[in-house]
Structure 1
Amino acid sequence: MRILAIGDIVGKPGREYVYQNLGRIRSKYNIDFVIANGENSAATNGITPIIADELVNAGADVITMGNHTFGTKSAAQALEENPRLIRPLNYPPEFEGSGYIIQDLGYAKVAVINLIGRVNMSPANCPFRAVENLLKRIESDIIVVDMHAETTSERLAMGNFLDGKVQVVFGTHTHVQTADEHILPGGTGYISDLGMTGIMDSILGVKKEIILNYYYNAGKHYRFEKEENGDVWFNGCVFEIDNKTKSVVDIERLRFSRI
């Protein structure tokens, strides 16, 4: 089995790229299952019911979220209406949506779990205890975890915490792809950050002049606007899992503008 994880899809350019190219990417890399982070896919932040449906129609099997989960007024509706859209498991239980999903592909059950870190992020319950408790209750052949966190250390800690208990742990949120993909000692495939799918000539998907002014004029408030002009770079990672042993045998980072 080959699982593709797509880094944070940023704004209209990012999602349009996915709409137009995901089918060809799936074919070229022989992908069986796709997980896409959609927490920045709307014009501001967050996601809408229409965007969630369109990403699924384009070929995303599961959409994960993060600290911008409720960045749109219709995010709660999207979580209630689209079962393939999940939000961080360690959010309070009364929040709309689910923190995980299990899909039966016929030859294997694939569970996807969404977590959010707590370092330099909004308050949330402990992701380590949350996933530990969930793993006691679910049964699945393959388990993939999106650890949406600010620091590499917290994501790497989660990877090691789950090593040998799940097949894949990947990080999202910081929008810069890391070059540390590897198989942990217990057999879990890991990468600290997938990167982002959005305009390359930007600062994390936002117009450069806004971010430059934000840092140069420290303390002054600016409205972050996403960059919509320029080449879109697709960032993600392919995890190959042996169908018999259910172990990760290969990891390949993807980063390109044209497929």
Structure 2
Amino acid sequence: MITAIRRCTNSQRAIKWLARVTEPITTRPHEWSRPYLMAGKVGGYSTVLFMTVLFSSARSKSSGVNKDLFVLTYGALVAQLCKDYEKDEDVNTYLDKMGYGIGTRLVEDFLARSCVGRCHSYSEITDIIAQVAFKMYLGITPSVTCNNSSRNAFSLILDKNPLVEFVEELPAGRSSLCYCNLLCGIIRGALEMVHLAADVTFLQDRLKGDSVTEIGITFLKKLDEKKYRRKK
């Protein structure tokens, strides 16, 4: 599977490959034996692992994985979820949980490749998320604003969102759908792995008619490091 992904080195080949591997989802959504984009199993290991591979590989041109492949695959997943779940809240929950799983796996790759040092404030952490993490994996650098005097609530303002590059508007009757909720889960999961609890939500979304896309991050408390230590 991973070999097949890495062979897709341009948009045209990626689209053809995506159409081939996602075709069974459309025809037999509950009988598909390949679990790459398996809907109906929230946070399924295979789904999360597949999307983690795509997300982490798309950041590097040398990996042979085109960014469009991840964006198109994600779009196919959201489209399938909208067919499987009537309520937008259920789709949003699925995307958040899947993103959380990706974030918990991705943080090790991020720390190894970025070589960032220890942060001493929430503002430093948020700056690293915006200037290093988003740049590394999505190729964009959101602007950061602080939302309260306690300096534990911040906003990431996205002038450009690669995940909606091929999306013009939300599907009809899906006004509550948070299309990119995967990003919130990724941030939340990654922060938890460095012992930081946070509430991460979309505050504004251009797909819903807002002037900007804004992700809110509110740091809650420092998690107990002992909880995450491996037993020797």
Fold equivalence (TM over 0.5): no
TM-score of the two chains, using structure 1 as the length reference:
0.27
Structure 2 length normalisation: TM-score? 0.29
- The structure with the largest helix share of the pair is 2
